[in-house]
Amino acid sequence: MKQLCLCKNDDSETYHLFECIKTTNGCNFTSNKDSKCNHVERDDTSCISTCQDEKTMRLEIAKLANQNKQICGICVSTLYKNQI
């Protein structure tokens, strides 16, 4: 089941969402290197939240935003895309 990781590249202070997969040994990225906003390609990333479902990631992002972490708004909007 696909999960989400919140990570930033070395050349940016903004965190982006990437798809990842929970494994028996932890968490691995999927083969898709693009962020959810399609503006950043994954490189040697620094993740602050790994292998979370959408609901948990929404809560984590809200906490981090309140701590003044820069998080890509387009990536965040993908978490609410199909919500009614």
Which range marks the domain in which residue 19 is found? 2-78
- Residue 83, pLDDT score: 54
Report the distance separating Cα 15 and Cα 35, nearest Å: 10
In the chain, the number of structural domains is 1
- Residue 61, pLDDT score: 96
Residue 84 lies in a domain: no
- Residue 1, pLDDT score: 63
pTM over cut 0.85? yes
Residue 83 lies in a domain: no
Sequential pLDDT tens for the chain (84 residues) = 679 999 998 888 899 999 999 988 889 999 999 999 999 998 877 899 999 999 999 999 999 999 999 999 999 999 987 655
Report the distance separating Cα 84 and Cα 76, nearest Å: 16
